[in-house]
Structure 1
Amino acid sequence: MMSNSREESFTKFFERATAGLTPATAGLTPATAGLTPYKWQTLIATEGLPDVLTVHTGLGKTEVVLAWAWRLLVDGQPEPRHLVYCLPMRSLVTQTVKRLKDYFDSLKQACPFFDVKVYQLMGGAIDDEWASQPDKPWVLVGTQDQLLSRALNRGYAMRRFDWPVHFGLLNNDCRWLIDEVQLMGPGLWTTSQLDWMRRKRFPSLKPCLTTWMSATIGTSFLSTTDRVADCLDKPSQEQDAFEKKLKAALDGDPALQWWREAKRPLAWWQPDTAEPKTGKGKKQSPAKSATPATVTPENIATFVMKNHVAGKLTLVICNTVELAQDVFRQLDVKHKVEHKVLLTSRFRGEDRSQHEQRLMEFDAKRKTGNLPPNDPGLICVSTQVIEAGIDISAHRLFTELAPWPSMLQRLGRLNRKGDDQGARGWVWETPEKGGNNERIGPYEAADIELAKMLVDAFAPLSEKAFSKAIEELNKTKKNEVTEALKPKLSPLPRALDVHGLFSTERDVHGGFTDVSAFVRGTDPDLDVMVFWRDWSGEHPPSGDDLDGPLLKPAKEGCPVSFIRVQEFLKTSQGQAWLWNDETGCWEPISPESIRPGMLLMLKRDVGGYDETEGWTGNTSNVLANVPRAGRIATLGDDTRTEAGYWSKLTDHLEDAKREAEELCNAICLQGDLRKAVVEAAALHDLGKAHPQWQNRLPTRAVIPGKLLAKCPRVVAADVAGDASAVRSEFAKLRPEAYALPDEQCRRGREEVLRLRWAIDDKLREDELKSLRSVPGVRWAGHIPFRPGLRHEAASALAMWRKYRNSEPKPYPALAVYLAAAHHGKVRTVMRSTTEEGDDVFGIRSEPGSLVIECEHWLLDFSVTKDGAEGRWEGEEGKEEFVMTGPGWTGLVTDLLGPWRPEEKSDAGAVPQGEPMDLGPFALAYLEALVRIADWRASDPSRATGAVKPSEVRNGC
C-alpha cells in the first residue's frame, strides 16, 4: 500500500511544478491542468519507475519526469542524479523542453533546493552545458540519433575529441526514459543492449537505469541473446505486480474519463469517391478497384482543401519527403494557400525550427482562443517526423497508409485532448510504382498489407470512442495486432562492438565506425549531413584564408540520404568536401566514397536546397546568403588554452586539483579512483612546461619569469601600406585590447605588416567585417594557438617516468591515462604526428625533461613503443621474454579490460591492487571527471591569478 503522506507530498510537489499553468500553456489535458496528478502518476512516484511503463499517448507521460525529480529531491530514494528523455524524432523535443523548464522554474521559485536544469539535444539545437555538470541534477531531452550516437561514443554533430565525455556521462548516473518506443526501429534494440551492458557486462560506476514507455508494444525487445543469457529478458516479479497496480490506477481514475470517451473516426479515401461513407457496423475497404495512378499530389491537395476548416489545424502526413513536397507545392500552385507549413527531416536545423515554431504558435493560439477573427487555420504537410508524440491536436487528419504503429501515432494527433469530437481522419493508399514487391515507399510491403487489414477492421468501429474501438480491435484481431506491433529484428550492438567503439582514432581507411544501423529509426536511407559555404575559385581556401565563422552543424547542417547526395553530385557535376582534422583542410571526396554519417561541405552555387521545402536536389535552388568557408577543430588546436586571460601554470594546476576534489566529494567517489582523478587533474598540464609550448605563446611579458597555462585570444590584421587607419578602427572596436608586437609576413606575393592584439573575447562577425573593410587590409581574423605538440602527451610521459621509478607509487597508473586523455586527442595510442616520424604527438626526445618550480620531470618515451619494452633471457632455445616496460597499448588494455566477462587483462602495465578492467563506461566517466575539473578551473571567474588584456590595458 502507498503511504498517504507520500501521496500527499508528491501531490503538493506536482502542484508546485504546475502552478499557474493553464491547459493551453502547460500542454496538459483539462483534468491535469487542475494541478492534480493522475492516479497512475502518483503510483509512479511512490512505487518507483518501472522497467516498462505501458501508458497510452496523451496521458501525461512527460510528467514522469516530475516523479523522478520528487523521488530524488524530496523522497530521498536512490534515483540516478540525471534523467535522459529519449524521443525517436525531434518534433516533440522543443515542446517537452519548454514544458519541463516551466515546471522546474515553478519549483525553484517555491524552493531554491528544487534546482534542476533542463537541456535539449537535437539537430539544430544542441546545448552541451549539461556535460560540465555531473554533480548537479539535470534533465536532458533529445532525439534518439543524438543521444544513442553519444551513448555509443560516436556523437553526431560534435567533434570526435569530445565524444568520450558524453559517452561516459550518458552511461553513468542516468535514468533513461525512452518514449514512443514503437517508432524507434533499431534504436529500441540498442537501448536494450546498452541497458544490459551497463548492468552486467561493463558495469557503470554510478547506476544507469532505463524505463521504456509505450502502450502499443510488448517486451520482446528485452529478449536479446545477451539479456537471455543473463536472465534479463523477462519482466521481473516487481514489474508484474506494478502492471496490476497501474491498470487499476488507469481504470479507476475519474479524471481520465475524457480519454475513455474521445473519438477519432477514420475512413478510407480514394480520388474517385466523392465522399467516403462510414457507419456503424459497415466495413470500409480501400479503393482496391481504383487505379493506383489516380492518387496524385494534385487530388490529395484538392481533397484536403475541400475538408479543411477555417481556424482549425489540418494535418497531411505522407510517407516520403518527395510526396510531402509535391502536395505542399500543389497547395501553393493550384490553391494559392498561404496558411501552410511543411515539416520533413530534410531541413537545415534553423529552418526546420522556424517551421515547427509556426505550427506550435498556431496550436497555442487555438488552444487559448487567441486566433484573430476569420483566421484561415493552418495546413501542416508532414512526413513521419510528426508522429513522435508531438502535443498538437488536429481537427482534420489525412494520412498515407503506413505500418500500424505509425497509424496509431498519427491518429494520436487527432482530437488529442478529447475536446474536439467533430474531428475526422482519412487514409489513402499509394501503391508503389516500379514493381518492388518487398517495399512500399520506406516501409516493408508486408507491414503495409497488415496495416491495410487492420484499418479495414478499425474503420467501422471508429465512430465509437477510440479507447473502446481499439479494445475491440485488439480482441477481434489479436494475432494481427500482436504481429503488427512486434518490433522488427535489426542490427544491435554487442559487447565487442561497444568495447571497440571506445577508441576514437581513425580506422585504416581514415574514417570512423558507422553506428547508423544502431541508432536510426524507420528510414532505411542512412544520412549524411550537408551544409553550404561560399568562396571564390574552384577549391576552398586554406590556412589563414579559411577564415569563415565556425561551423555549427546542428544549426546549419541538413540531413540527406547519402544515396541522394551521391546522385545529386553525379548529375550536377558538383563537388563535396570533407574536413581532415589531421591536416586542417577541406579535401574533395568522390560521390562513390560518400558514406553515412559524414559531414560534407557544398559550395553555395551548387544549389540543392530551398528554405521553404528543404533539400530538393535541384541545382536551381540556391541559398541567397551563406557564410564564407571556415575551419573545424583539428588535432593541433589548443583552443582551451585561449581562455581570454593569462595565468600561471602552477596556479592552474592547483585550481584543477581543487575542482577535482570538490567534484569527487559531490558524487561520492572514493578510494583509488578518487586519487587517480584528483592526481590526474593536479598534473594534467605538466606538459605545458615544455619550452616549445611556452615559446609559441603570443607573449609571456604580462607575467614575466613564470610558466603560463593560459593566454588571451589573438586577433590580427595584415596591412599593406599605412597601418594607422587600421589601428584607429580597431581601437574603436576594442579599446581595451592589449597590443602585441607587429610582425612582417607575406600574403601571396605581397609583403604585409601583421598587426596583432590580445583580447578578452573573440570579435563578432560584424566587428571582423568592419575591420576587413578598412583600406589596405588584406586579411583580418583570429590567430589560433597551435604549439605544434600535444602538451597532454608530455604530461603523461613525465607522469609515467615518476610512476615507474617511485615506491610507493605516487598515484595509480590510471592517473597517467586520465591526464593524457584530458583533451580527448591522446587516448588509446601514442603516435607520431610529423612526416619525420621521430616524435610522439610532436614531442621529440630533446629536451628530455620538464622543469617546474625547480622540480625536474623526466620524460619516459619507452611507454610509447608499440608493444612492450624488454629483453630475452635464458639458455639458447629456452629463452623467455622479460618485460621491462609495457607499451601504451598495454596500459590502456589493462585499464579498459577485455570484452569477454570470463577474461582478465594481463598486459602487465597495471599491477594487481590498482584500478583495472574498468570497462568502457567507467573509464570514459573518469576521463570526463578530469576534463570537467579542468574546464571549471579554466573559468575566468574561478581561475586564480587570471589577468585579462583589458585589465592590463587599463592599468589594473
Structure 2
Amino acid sequence: MSEAALDFARFTTVATGHTPYPYQAELAAEPLDPRVPIDPLPERLAAPPGGGGAEAVVLAWLYRRLIADPPGTPRRLVHVLPEGSLAGSIHATVARWLERLGTLGGADQVGLHLLTGASARDGGWRRAPERTAILIGTQEVLLSRALLRGFADGPTMTDVSFALLHNDAHWVLDEPTLLGAGARTALALQGLRERLGTSAPTGTTLVSSVRSAFDGPDAVAGPGDADWAGGLGARSGGSFRVRRLDPGLDPQDIGSLAAALAAVHVAGTQTLAVLGSLARARALVRALRARNADRELLFAHPYRREPELRELTEALEQPAADRIVVAVGHALDLGGELPARTVYTELAPWAAVALRAGRLTDGAGELLWSAGPDAGSDSSADPSALAPVADWLEAHDGRTVSLRDLHEAQVSTPAVGPPPPGDADLFRLFDTAPDIDVTPWVSPPGRDPGTVLVAWRDWSDARTDARTDARTDAPDGETPDRPGPEESDPTRQELCPVPLAELRAALAAQPRKRTRTRARTAWIRDRRLDWAWRPVDPESSAADLRPGVTMLLDAADGGWTPEEGWTPDSVAVVEPLGDGTAAPRSFACTAWVSLDQHLQETEHEARALLESLAPESLALESLTHPGLTVDHRDAVTRAARYHDLGKSHDLFQDMIRSGGGDPPAGLLAKSKAPHNGGRYARPYFRHELVSALILLHQSPAGADFADLLPYLVAAHHGRIRVSVLPEPDEQPALLGVLDGDRTPPVELSSGERFAAQVLDTGNAVRLTANAVALLRRADLGPFRLAFLETLVRVADWRSSARHDGPVEETTV
C-alpha cells in the first residue's frame, strides 16, 4: 500500500473507527502528476450494501480536499439522495466523522449542511463560497437549485445556489437508479459544465450498491479480489433466505398484511417493512398497533417537523429488543445502522431491494417480498420496468443468497422520463423571470412530485388578538380563522414537509367536523405585493401549490399527530410550535453609512474574497481549464465599487430618511436602527436597475467591461438577470423607475465622477441583449457568469455586515 494510502488509512480510522477497504484507499491516491490539479474521483463506483460506497467517496474527497491535494479537489461536496430519504441519518454520520477528526487537516473548519425538508431553507453555505463544505440533500432540493428553480429556495437566492453548485463542486449521486430522471439530469449538467466551462474543477460520481446500475463499456470502480478476500467479504458474504410473503395475500387488504407481518416477526428481533405508498404505510401502522399495542413500533418517513425527525433518527439508532419499523419508499434505504432479522419489501427497483436486504445481519434472516398494489410508486421506474426484479426474486424463492449475489446480479430497472436538459434549456432557465416547471427533470415520473412546507398556527382567543386583522370576516361571537397582517413567517422547527398530492387532496376535501362548516384552507405569503397572507384555492391556484412553498394551516383543522407526523385524515387540534409573533430584532445596522463608504467597503470585501480563492483559481489560469482570469477578477471588484450607484436616486434617498432619526447630509446607503423602516413613494423601485442604467450611459471601464459591468450590477440582488420586465400593475414605470427620472452627480473616493443623468428606461433592453451575449461568450458562459454574480453579492453582504450589531429591543 502506498504512503498516501497509509495516510488515508489513519485518516479513515480516526473518522470511522475502522480501517478502509483497499478499494476505498485507492480513491484517495494522489494524482500521477501533482502539477495538474484534476478531480480524480471515479465517475462510477459500485459497492455492495454495507460495503461503504458513499463512505468511500465522501472520505476520499475530504482527505484529498484537506490533506493530499487541496488545489485539485473541489471545495464543495454535493451528496444527492433519492427523494423521500431520511437524509438526517447520513448528515448525523458525517457530523460524527468531522467531530472525531477535530482539527486534523482543518476538519473542524468544514461546513456541513442538510438540505432537505424544512432544512432546505438553510442558506448559510451560500455566504462562504471560499469555505470547504459538504451539502447533503435530496434530489428535488439540490437538482431544482442546479436548474435555477430551487424548491424551498428564496426567489432571489436561486442564482447564488446555482453558481455554487456548478463551480468548485463535486456531485455524488447516491443510487442513480433510484433518482430516476434526476440522475440523467445531473449527468447532463456535468457535460454542460465540461463544455461551457466553470470557475474551478467540477465532477460527478455515481455510487450504487448493485453493478447492474451501470451499463456500457465505461469502467466501474469498486471492490476487487483483495476486498472480497478480506473484511468486505466477511461483511457481504453472509447469507439469508428469499421468500415471497404468502403468495395468496391480497396486498390491498391491510389487515391481512398486518397479520402476515405479525406472524413472521420473530420475538426479540427487529423487523423492517417497506411500502411504496404513504397512505398504505399509515394504515399498516394503525393495523399493527391495533393487533399489539405493547410492541414497539416506529413509523419512518420524512413528513414530520424537525424536532420529531430528530427524535425519530435517534430512536432508529437505538438498539431494538423487539421492534417493527414501517418505512415508506426510500426513507431508510440509505444511511445509518438498522440491523434486522426480517425485511419485507414491496416490489421496488433492484438497488432498493439490495439496500433493504443489506439490513439483514442474522444468518437466519429472511428477505420477504410481494408485488404490492402500487409497485413502482416509490421508484423511478414504472411498474412494468420492475418485471426483471420480480423474475429474479421468483427464481430465487426459497433459496439462500448473499449480499454479494444481489450486488453482482444483472437485474436492470431502466428509468423513464423526459430527455435531459441541453444548452437551449440551460439558457432558458438562466432567465429566472419565466415560470418553468423543472419537476420532470428532477423527480421520479408517474406521481405528483415534491413537497410543500406547512406550519400550524392557532388563531383563536387571546393568542391572536395582536396578530389578526379586523374581524369583519368572522360572524358575531366567532373568532377569526385566518392569519392577520402581523403574522410572522414560520420558523424552521415549525415546518413540516407534506406531500404535495396529499395536501391538494386535503384542501379539496369537504369538512369532517360538525363544529366547523368550512373546508381546510392553506395560507400563503404574497411576496410580490404587500406580504399579506392570502388563501390558496387548490383548484385555481396551481401556481401556489408547487414544490417548496411555505404555507400556514389552522391548528384547529388538524392534519398532524405525534405518532404519525403529517396525518391528513386527523381532525385532532394540532399543538403549534410557534405563536406567530415575530421575534424582536436584536441585530441590525447600527450606523448611518454613506454611499461612498459602502461602495469602498464592498470593493474591499470583493478583493479579500478573490484573494481567498486566488491560490487555486490562479493556478488554473494557465491550464486548459479557464478558471477566473485577471479580467474576471477586475470586473468583480469594479462591479462591487459601482453596484449601488442607483441609491443616489431621490426615491431611495427619501426612503432612507423617511424612517426618522437624524441622518447626516450627503448620499446615504444604509440607515441606522431603528430608523430603517422607510417605504418607497413609488412601488417596486429597484435601485440596482438605476445603477445599471447609469453604467450603460457612462461606462468607466472601457469596452472590455461595457457588457459585463452593467450585468453584474443589475444582478446583485437576484431580481434582474436577463429579462427586465415591469410588474403587471405598474406601467408606465419599469421596476419603479420612470423615463425622465434624474440622478445627481456622484463622486467616489477613487476619484471617479458620474455625471448627473436623465434616465431612459428604454435602455433596459440593452441589459437583456448584454446578458444573452455574455451567456454565449467563450470566456464566461452561464456557470462562470453566475459565479461572478455571486462574488459581487457576497461582497455586498459582507460589507453590510460590517455595520451590523446588537440593538435594544425598544429601538426596533
- Please, what TM-score do these two structures have when normalized by structure 1? 0.71
**Structure 2 SS opposite 1:695:** helix
| Number of equivalences | 748
Contact 2:561–2:570 at 8 Å: present in 1 too?
no
Q: CA deviation at 1:701?
A: 4.4
Letter in 1 for 2:547: G
Summarize the Cα distance change of 1:857–1:916 in structure 2 as closer, same or farther, 3 Å threshold.
farther
Letter in 1 for 2:384: A
Q: CA deviation at 1:211?
A: 0.9
Match of 2:731 in 1: 837
Summarize the Cα distance change of 1:218–1:292 in structure 2 as closer, same or farther, 3 Å threshold.
closer
Summarize the Cα distance change of 1:619–1:261 in structure 2 as closer, same or farther, 3 Å threshold.
closer
Q: 1:450 aligns with which of 385, 388, 410?
A: 388
Q: CA deviation at 1:44?
A: 0.6
Residue ranges of structure 1 left out of the alignment (5+ in a row)? 19-25, 27-32, 222-232, 271-286, 367-374, 433-437, 632-638, 715-739, 741-757, 759-782, 868-886, 898-914
Contact 2:300–2:328 at 8 Å: present in 1 too?
yes
Residue ranges of structure 2 left out of the alignment (5+ in a row)? 31-39, 460-467, 512-518, 615-627
Q: CA deviation at 1:544?
A: 11
Contact 2:416–2:445 at 8 Å: present in 1 too?
no
**Structure 2 SS opposite 1:46:** coil
Summarize the Cα distance change of 1:857–1:167 in structure 2 as closer, same or farther, 3 Å threshold.
farther
- Could you tell me how far apart the structure 1 residues matched to 2:745 and 2:98 are? 50
Contact 1:641–1:709 at 8 Å: present in 2 too?
no
Counterparts of 1:554-593 in structure 2, within 5 Å, are 556-562=495-501, 565-566=504-505, 568-572=507-511, 573-584=519-530, 585-593=532-540
Summarize the Cα distance change of 1:810–1:171 in structure 2 as closer, same or farther, 3 Å threshold.
closer
Summarize the Cα distance change of 1:332–1:559 in structure 2 as closer, same or farther, 3 Å threshold.
same
Contact 2:197–2:783 at 8 Å: present in 1 too?
yes
Letter in 1 for 2:669: A
Match of 1:247 in 2: 224
Match of 1:262 in 2: 238
Letter in 2 for 1:893: V
Contact 2:84–2:329 at 8 Å: present in 1 too?
no
Summarize the Cα distance change of 1:259–1:597 in structure 2 as closer, same or farther, 3 Å threshold.
same
Contact 2:86–2:331 at 8 Å: present in 1 too?
no
**Structure 2 SS opposite 1:264:** strand
Letter in 1 for 2:667: L
- Could you tell me how far apart the structure 1 residues matched to 2:787 and 2:483 are? 36
Q: CA deviation at 1:66?
A: 2.0
Match of 1:195 in 2: 190
Match of 2:33 in 1: none
**Structure 2 SS opposite 1:135:** coil
Q: Does 1:292 align with 2:250?
A: yes
Summarize the Cα distance change of 1:131–1:261 in structure 2 as closer, same or farther, 3 Å threshold.
same
Contact 2:49–2:354 at 8 Å: present in 1 too?
no
**Structure 2 SS opposite 1:53:** strand
Q: CA deviation at 1:139?
A: 1.4
Q: 2:654 aligns with which of 695, 713, 722?
A: 695
Counterparts of 1:630-709 in structure 2, within 5 Å, are 643=589, 645-668=591-614, 669-697=628-656, 699=659, 701=661, 704-709=664-669
- Could you tell me how far apart the structure 2 residues matched to 1:644 and 1:927 are? 27
- Could you tell me how far apart the structure 2 residues matched to 1:359 and 1:575 are? 34
- Could you tell me how far apart the structure 2 residues matched to 1:930 and 1:100 are? 31
- Could you tell me how far apart the structure 2 residues matched to 1:430 and 1:807 are? 66
Letter in 2 for 1:709: A
Q: Does 1:424 align with 2:366?
A: yes
**Structure 1 SS opposite 2:74:** coil
Summarize the Cα distance change of 1:628–1:68 in structure 2 as closer, same or farther, 3 Å threshold.
same
Match of 2:490 in 1: 551
Q: CA deviation at 1:319?
A: 1.6
Summarize the Cα distance change of 1:37–1:445 in structure 2 as closer, same or farther, 3 Å threshold.
closer
Q: CA deviation at 1:574?
A: 3.7
Q: Does 1:819 align with 2:713?
A: yes
Residue by residue over 1:123-156, the C-alpha shift from the partner in whole angstroms, topping out at 9 and shown as x without a partner, is 1323322111211211111111111011011111
Match of 2:449 in 1: 526
Q: Does 1:460 align with 2:398?
A: yes
Q: Does 1:798 align with 2:775?
A: no
Q: Does 1:858 align with 2:797?
A: no
- Could you tell me how far apart the structure 2 residues matched to 1:709 and 1:604 are? 42
Letter in 2 for 1:6: A
Match of 2:7 in 1: 9
Q: CA deviation at 1:856?
A: 4.5
Summarize the Cα distance change of 1:71–1:345 in structure 2 as closer, same or farther, 3 Å threshold.
closer
Residue by residue over 1:530-556, the C-alpha shift from the partner in whole angstroms, topping out at 9 and shown as x without a partner, is 524454665999999422222357951
- Could you tell me how far apart the structure 1 residues matched to 2:354 and 2:146 are? 29
Q: CA deviation at 1:659?
A: 1.2
How much identity, in percent, do the aligned residues show?
Answer: 26
Contact 1:830–1:864 at 8 Å: present in 2 too?
no
Q: CA deviation at 1:164?
A: 0.4
Summarize the Cα distance change of 1:249–1:931 in structure 2 as closer, same or farther, 3 Å threshold.
farther
Contact 2:156–2:717 at 8 Å: present in 1 too?
yes
Q: Does 1:60 align with 2:52?
A: yes
Match of 1:42 in 2: 25
Letter in 1 for 2:235: W
**Structure 1 SS opposite 2:109:** coil
Residue by residue over 1:540-599, the C-alpha shift from the partner in whole angstroms, topping out at 9 and shown as x without a partner, is 999994222223579514332437614641534444444432213344443333254263
Q: CA deviation at 1:823?
A: 1.0
Contact 1:832–1:840 at 8 Å: present in 2 too?
yes
**Structure 2 SS opposite 1:386:** coil
- Could you tell me how far apart the structure 1 residues matched to 2:360 and 2:107 are? 40
Q: Does 1:325 align with 2:282?
A: yes
Residue by residue over 1:692-740, the C-alpha shift from the partner in whole angstroms, topping out at 9 and shown as x without a partner, is 22222355745522433223554xxxxxxxxxxxxxxxxxxxxxxxxx7
Letter in 1 for 2:427: H
Letter in 1 for 2:647: K
Q: Does 1:117 align with 2:111?
A: yes
Q: CA deviation at 1:90?
A: 5.7
Q: CA deviation at 1:857?
A: 4.2
Letter in 2 for 1:791: H
Summarize the Cα distance change of 1:832–1:431 in structure 2 as closer, same or farther, 3 Å threshold.
closer
Q: Does 1:935 align with 2:805?
A: no
- Could you tell me how far apart the structure 1 residues matched to 2:756 and 2:7 are? 60
Q: 1:99 aligns with which of 93, 99, 105?
A: 93
Match of 1:143 in 2: 138
Q: CA deviation at 1:401?
A: 3.1
Counterparts of 1:345-744 in structure 2, within 5 Å, are 345-360=302-317, 362-363=318-319, 376-377=322-323, 379-415=325-361, 420-431=362-373, 444-462=382-400, 464-468=401-405, 471=408, 474=409, 478=410, 481=411, 484-505=412-433, 507=434, 512-521=435-444, 524-529=447-452, 531=454, 532-535=456-459, 545-552=484-491, 556-562=495-501, 565-566=504-505, 568-572=507-511, 573-584=519-530, 585-593=532-540, 594=542, 596-597=546-547, 599=549, 600-618=551-569, 620-625=571-576, 627=578, 643=589, 645-668=591-614, 669-697=628-656, 699=659, 701=661, 704-714=664-674
Q: What is the root-mean-square deviation of aligned Cα atoms in Å?
A: 3.6
- Could you tell me how far apart the structure 2 residues matched to 1:625 and 1:615 are? 13
- Please, what TM-score do these two structures have when normalized by structure 2? 0.83
